Amino acid sequence: MPVRKAIVSAAIGLHARPAAVFVRAVTDTGLPVTIRKDGIDAVDARSLLEVMTADFNCGCEVELGITESALPAGRSITDAEAALTGLAELLESQASRESQATA
């Protein structure tokens, strides 16, 4: 199972706009990505409701994953790893995106 770890950098965590941006990016990959942190079960990262209610606060470490058996036909592990890397980078860069949006 491809996995990437990231630190949530958005000041409000994965709530409201940062959660919507993240979920949209996950959906755009076309892959069944999950997100989890210590103490909670993985949730479907394509679901805004699940992501927002899972309490991913600013500064928490999350784990993004894709189960190999859930990969859609025609998609490879390499595709999954690239997608997870991009999503992890998005989570870690959201603080700078927030400051640009308010400037």
| Spatial CB neighbours of 82, under 8 Å, sequence gap ≥ 6 | none
Find the farthest-apart pair of alpha carbons in the chain and give their distance in angstroms, rounded: 44
Establish whether 15 is a catalytic residue.
yes
Secondary structure of residue 3 in the 3-state scheme: strand
Question: Among residues 66, 75, 79, 4, which one has the least CA distance to residue 33?
Answer: 66
Given 3, 11, 15, 70, which residue is catalytic?
Answer: 15
Active site residues: 15
